[in-house]
Amino acid sequence: MNLRRAISILFIFAILSACTPPMNTLTPEPTFVPTPVPTTEPTPTPAPKEFRIIGYVAHWDIVERIQFDYLTHINYAFLIPEADGTFADMPNLWKLKKIVSEAHAANVKVLISVGGWGYDKEFEAMAASPETRAVFVEGHTRFVHDYDLDGADIDWEYPGPGADSAQNFTALMQELDAVLEPKGKLLTAAVAALGEHGEGILAEVFDLVDYINVMAYDASGSDHSPYSYALDALDYWAGRGLPPEKTVLGVPFYSRPGEAPYQKIVTEFPEAAYVDEFDYNGSRVYYNGIPTIQKKTQLALERASGIMIWALAHDTVDATSLLHAIYQAASGN
């Protein structure tokens, strides 16, 4: 091989070597990892439970003062029972019709409340006989139908803890439920907060009602309806087996002693809206101001299914409204 040819071969080899990268410097191809595909649908967030805000309205109240937007239910009081199973004539039935019309337009249910304080003898006599119970149930059902009501609230204060009275109350509720439930109507009861008067409500009633309104006020002693009494009342009924979803905590819109309406106290002394006791007309009165009402509402959100109010007419309709305070606490505003 001559020198010229040898130089040419070496030149070509050098060019080829420069164009070929070393084997140990090659970058490997990236590995493709597919994103896993879910095999099940995501779990939906549970809807919040219904929280009831129930206000009692009496036949003497002013319809225009009812704040329907803050309520879920109205109990119209009272249809008065007679010993023979009939009912006394109710005044101002035009007002009931007006309330039902405006309430339904606001998606608020209206129940007729039967009884109230002072009619224990009439309830006892009526409920003791199957015949008079039948008259009561038939007349009550007709009243619910005639006035386009959403159900019945039985306010017997109070069935006795003895066997006859408690069993008669249970029988009455069974017979009402048998008629109202198939028609899609509600059946509720107002009961004592705790103690002997509560013993007249047997556990069998819990399955018959949609819910029970616990009247956690008028406690013995001077303080009427403290937060501690609400706790005791909820403990008592939970201990009896009443489930939280059927428990409604009652709160007062009036004071003790003297039953001065919250509205009257606060109109004269606006600062009284934020405390639970006040010197009024020369004496110390006890009630629930805005902070305690909101604290009780939070308690009901945790351990019950609503708040019941006696009575709406005792409230203000301005920034100091207890009903508005309940609504704010219940809705988280």
Residue 29: pLDDT above 70? no
Low-confidence winner among 10-24, 205-219, 304-318 (lowest mean pLDDT):
10-24
- Tell me if 239 sits within 8 A of 307, measured CB to CB: no
Q: pLDDT tens-digit profile of 183-236?
A: 999 999 999 999 999 999 999 999 999 999 999 999 987 799 999 999 999 999
Q: In which band, very low, low, confident or very high, does the pLDDT at 49 lie, cut at 50, 70 and 90?
A: low
- Residue 261's DSSP bridge partners are 254
pLDDT at 30: 38
Low-confidence winner among 30-39, 87-96, 302-311 (lowest mean pLDDT):
30-39
- Give per-residue burial for 129-160: e unless 16+ CB within 10 Å, then b: eeebbebbbebbbebbeebebbbbbbbbbbbb
> pTM (2 decimals)?
0.85
Domain-by-domain residue ranges, the chain? 52-253+289-331
Q: Which CATH architecture best describes the domain 52-253+289-331? A: Alpha-Beta Barrel (3.20)
Burial of 197 (0-12, 13-18, 19+ CB in 10 A): middle
pLDDT at 162: 80
- Across the range 136-144, mean pLDDT stands at 98
| Separation CA 253–CA 240 (nearest Å) | 27
Q: What share of the chain is helix, strand, coil (3-state, %, to 5)?
A: 45, 20, 35
Q: In which band, very low, low, confident or very high, does the pLDDT at 15 lie, cut at 50, 70 and 90?
A: very low
Q: Which residues are catalytic?
A: 157
Percent of the chain whose pLDDT exceeds 70: 85
191's CB contacts (< 8 A; 6+ apart) are 158, 197, 198, 201, 212, 213, 214, 215, 237
